[in-house]
Amino acid sequence: MAYVVPRPKLTLAEKLYLPAIVAGLAITLKHFKKALFGKGNVTMQYPEQKWDASLPEHYRGAPTLVKDEHDRERCVACQLCEFICPPRAIRIKPGEIPATNKFAKVEKFPLEFDIDMIRCIYCGLCEEVCPEQAIFLRKDYSITGLTRAEMVHDKAKLYELGGVMDGLVHKWNPKK
Amino acid sequence: MLNVQIDGVWMQFPRGTRLIEACAQANKFVPRYCYHAKLSSPGNCRMCLIEMGMPKMGPDRKPVLGTDGKPEIAWIPRPQISCAQDVAEGMAVRTDSPMVRDCRHGVMEFLLINHPLDCPICDQAGECRLQEFSVDHGTGGSRFLENKVKKPNNVEVGPRVTLDAERCILCTRCIRFMQEVAHDDVLGIVDRGSHSTIACHSDRKLDSNYSLNTVDICPVGALTSEDFRFKMRVWFLKETKSFCTSCATGCNTVIGSRENTIYRQTPRENNDVNSAWMCDYGRLNFHYLHSKDRLMEPVLKTKDGHEIATWEKAIARAATELKKYRGEEIGIIASGRMTNEELWLAKKLAEALGTTLHDIVPHFAEGDDILLSSDRNPNTRGAQLLGLASAIPGEHLGAIADGVRSGKIKALLVLGEDAVEAGIATDLLNLESLIATHILPNATTKLATVLLPGSGFAEKRGSMINGKGRLQRLNRAINPPGNARDDWEILRDLILAVTGHNGIYMIEDVFKQMAASVPQLANLSLSKIGDLGVQLPT
């Protein structure tokens, strides 16, 4: 069925168009005056100045790995993120935690964990699929490098960006 | 044939068919944990419960017929297990009634009560029956509020098998396998009630050469392979149907590989060869393919050492070396590990060179009466059929050794074997030229005038004939490393360089040529061999 878009009824002033132009020019003039006396801040000087404080909570930046409050690597190398990753940016080599380690109960950890940030599309599926809450998209968005190798984030870099995340998963903690 | 009604449809099955198999044949898969077609049925997991009925009998002991002329069914008011029940005349089954669904739901809940939530670190994840049936018949959450029973985990029950008792659902498949197939009764259940645990005999280890089959049949992740443990998730593995080339039995296998790396080999059911099993020795005998020492480039011997060459140069050099000598001055040592296609081309090369002095190197070791054959060459029968070896493989090796020692043989072609190990030891230096193909360096390849790197069993296609005369097919799972090549291509290029013609471009053509002149292979082709192989006429 055809849908008729209701058109607003315009007043004479609106139809004339001129008052709007004048109002617009007034705003321009206001900013011009501010800029002239150095009061306004119209241009943000990126990258010296950044918007980071205003980034929303749900912002999806670079994927990172996090440790828990006991300094345990949350990642157990289940490789689900490697599986789900649409651009295949993630590469994991699993390993076994030695029996002498205090987290030996967890048995498995990532020996190597690489995310190729040239491939990463910041979709956040890795965070969504993670059964151990080990991978989070943090707010780093400006990932640059001079070589392709530099753009591959290895485990050390991922933990450096990720830091510590409290709580969330308790199943590996000793039972009380 | 017996008439059986499955979910309202009357079907016919031969006497002796298990009800669970009959349902599967009728496309009504009944979930099961303890039942395995190749083992006895203890009926302990209760997952295969179904609703069963028998024909209603009238006072004259004749079935009462319904309006449709078929017997009326008297349903048994409680569920039955379908794995320990053979079909009977007039039997009726419901595999998806409300009672059956309730039963499965309840059994799943019981099985999951003490099961840990460690799918992320469990190697079975992805091929776990507990995961699969939990999705099909289980609930999302657990009603169990008490503490789960703790049991030992990460226990080495054998040198190749690790046990996680918390994951175990006590289906006893592993116990029955060790009793009934491996005849090494070392596993059992200890303790009682919810503390029951699979355990190995205290004085013994699960060290049978068939121990890893228990890992395959374990429906959950309780038994895991030490070799495959934490190496790769199963859903990444590309599965290539192949067969094991570690002995003359040729157990059918599935090779699991990802991006040119083999992670595991598992047996594939073939009732004419290996049932559903394979030995640990054969299963783990693939790591050499990923050895750091793999030969990757053709190497030529020069006045002052060795140099890496291109394939064109290496083949040309090999051909000029071979063409220098008369037929009787050349010996060929082939291998029982070569495929039929390679052996056929080796034979053609021998004919082109005019030499009749050729043989394979026999490899014998202790076998057993289950699967492992004492003949460790997978293709002795092929070498005999194609004329590279006589009825007694290796009987001409002495003559070749004598020829090399006396200087009668001036050039030796060693294909995938170590001539030094085969007993032509110190005399190899007498040779004017030694052309060798292999995948790993050995004493012979170090002395070779021309060294041509070949490919391993998982890196090529081809066929072999096992000890019982069954023609089976190898499929390519991974690519050969570096510049190494398919062995049949090396031989084809050598023939081409020696004779100047052949016209073979594909391995299918080699088989076609072979089938045209070997009567036993008549009317066969690589694709006709199929996944399960073909028994050759004797």
CB contact under 8 A, A83 and B233: yes
Estimate the crossing angle of helix B311-323 against helix B487-499, to 10 degrees. 50
* Any domain includes A44: no
List the single best residue of A73, A80, A113, A172 to mutate versus B (max B Cβ within 10 A): A80
Q: Where a domain ends, among B107, B129, B158?
A: B107
* Option in A80, A95, A99 nearest B230 (CB): A95
Contact A96/B at CB under 8 A: yes
Alpha helices in B324-377, H assignment, sequence order: 340-353
Residue B67: pLDDT over 70: yes
Q: Are residues B374 and B342 in the same domain?
A: yes
Distance of CA B513 to the CA centre of its chain: 28
- Whether A176 shows a pLDDT value over 60: the answer reads no
Q: Report how far residue B272's alpha carbon sits from residue B277's, in angstroms, rounded to the nearest whole number.
A: 12
The model's confidence at residue B425, banded by pLDDT at 50, 70 and 90, is: low
Take residue B257 and report the two structure tokens written for it.
Answer: 């590989």
Question: What is the residue-averaged pLDDT of chain B?
Answer: 92
What is the model's pLDDT at position A168?
76
Asked whether residue A24 is domain-assigned, the answer is: no
Statement to judge: residues B267 and B305 lie in one domain: no
A-B Cβ pairs (cutoff 8 Å, strict): 36
The predicted pLDDT at position A175 comes to: 64
For tokens 């052949």, what's the residue?
A: B502
Residue-range definition of the domain harbouring residue B91? 2-107
Q: Are the C-beta atoms of A163 and A66 separated by less than 8 Å?
A: yes
How many domains would you assign to chain A?
A: 1
pLDDT > 60? residue A78: yes
A107 in contact with B, Cβ within 8 Å? yes
Q: Are residues B239 and B285 in the same domain?
A: yes
Give the best residue of B124, B224, B230 to mutate against chain A (max A CB count within 10 A).
B230
Q: How confident is the model at residue B117 (pLDDT cuts 50, 70, 90)?
A: confident
What would the pLDDT profile of A136-153 be if each residue is shown by its tens digit? 999 999 899 999 999 999
Q: Which of residues 211-270 of B touch A (CB under 8 A)?
A: 229-233, 235-236
By the CB < 8 Å criterion, does A108 face chain B? yes
Q: Do B233 and A132 touch (CB under 8 A)?
A: no
Q: Is residue B126 part of a domain?
A: no
A35-39, A111-115, B173-177, B431-435, range with the lowest pLDDT? A35-39
Segment B310-325 shows an average pLDDT of 93
User: Taking CA atoms, what residue in B is nearest to A83?
Assistant: B236
The answer, yes or no, to whether residue B430 has pLDDT greater than 90, is no
Give B131's pLDDT tier (boundaries 50, 70, 90). very high
What is the percent of chain B where pLDDT is above 70?
Answer: 99
Question: pLDDT by residue (tens digit) across B209-268?
Answer: 999 999 999 999 999 999 999 999 999 999 999 999 999 999 999 999 999 999 999 999
Question: Does B125 contact chain A (CB < 8 Å)?
Answer: yes
Distance (Å, whole) CA B390 – CA A34: 102
Does B147 touch chain A if contact means CB atoms closer than 8 Å?
yes
B97-103 contact pairs (CB < 8 A, 24+): B97/B51, B99/B51, B100/B49, B100/B50, B100/B51, B101/B137, B103/B46, B103/B49, B103/B79
Q: Are residues B399 and B435 in the same domain?
A: yes
Alpha helices in B261-310 (DSSP H): 280-283
Question: Which residue stretches of B410-486 are H helix?
Answer: 443-447
Same domain for B210 and B68: no
Tell me: pLDDT of B480 over 60.
Answer: yes
The angle, 0 to 180 degrees and rounded to 10, between the axes of the packed helices B507-517 and B340-353 is 70
Q: What is the CATH number of the domain that holds B101?
A: 3.10.20.740
pLDDT higher than 80, residue A66: yes
Residue B119 lies in a domain: no
For residue range A115-126, what is the model confidence (pLDDT) as tens digits? 999 999 999 999
Residue of B410, B470, B87 lying closest to B274 (CA atoms)? B470
Question: Model confidence at B428, in pLDDT bands (50, 70, 90)?
Answer: low
Same domain, B398 and B498: yes
Positive or negative: CA dihedral B524, B529, B530, B533 = positive
Specify whether B252 is located in the same domain as B317.
Answer: no
pLDDT at A109 over 70: yes
Q: Are residues B281 and B304 in the same domain?
A: no
Poorest-confidence range of B32-41, B247-256, B392-401?
Answer: B392-401
Average pLDDT rounded to a whole number, residues B357-382:
93
DSSP code of residue B423: I
For residue B361, pLDDT over 90 is answered with yes
Contact A96 B117 (CB under 8 A): no
The pLDDT of B451-455, averaged and rounded, is: 95
| Over residues B175-201, mean pLDDT | 94
CB spacing of A95 vs B125 below 8 angstroms? no
Q: Is A96 in contact with B230 (Cβ distance < 8 A)?
A: yes
B479 part of contact set with chain A, CB < 8 Å = no
- Looking at the structure of chain B, the number of domains it has is 3
DSSP B88: -
Q: How far is CA A51 from CA A139, B143, B523, in A?
A: 11, 48, 75
The pLDDT, as a whole number, for residue B225 is 95
B429 and B514, same domain (yes or no): yes
CATH number at residue B264: 3.30.70.20
pLDDT computed for residue B502 by the predictor: 66
Q: Is residue B306 part of a domain?
A: yes
User: CATH number, domain at A150?
Assistant: 3.30.70.3270
Label residue A84 by pLDDT band (50, 70, 90).
Answer: very high
- For residue A109, the chain B residue with the least C-alpha distance is B121
- C-alpha neighbours within 13 Å on the C-beta side of residue A174: 5
**pLDDT band per the 50, 70, 90 thresholds, residue B164:** very high
B229 closest CB neighbour out of A77, A96, A175: A96
Q: Which 3 state secondary structure label does DSSP give B68?
A: coil
Same domain, B247 and B340: no
User: What is the percent of chain B with per-residue pLDDT over 90, rounded to a whole number?
Assistant: 80
Q: Which of A79, A131, A171 sits opposite B233 (nearest CB)?
A: A79
Residue B513 clears pLDDT 80, i.e. is over it: yes
Residue A65 domain-assigned (yes or no): yes
Q: Yes or no: say if B50 and B17 are a contact pair by the CB < 8 Å rule.
A: no
Summarised one tens digit per residue, pLDDT across range A23-57 is 999 999 998 888 888 776 767 888 888 888 889 98
* Predicted pLDDT of residue B96: 93
Asked if A132 reaches chain B (Cβ–Cβ under 8 Å), the answer is: yes
**Are residues B360 and B504 part of one domain?**
yes
More confident residue, B67 or B359: B359
- Residue B426, pLDDT score: 60
* Cα–Cα distance measured from residue B310 to residue B297, given in angstroms and rounded to the nearest whole number: 8
* Chain A residues within 8 A of B121 when measuring between CB atoms: 76-78, 106-108
CA A9/CA A11 separation, integer angstroms: 7
pLDDT at B431 over 90: no
pLDDT at residue A70, as a whole number: 87
B429 compared with B269, residue with greater pLDDT = B269
Residue A60's domain comprises 56-162
User: In chain B, which residue's Cα lies nearest the Cα of A129?
Assistant: B120
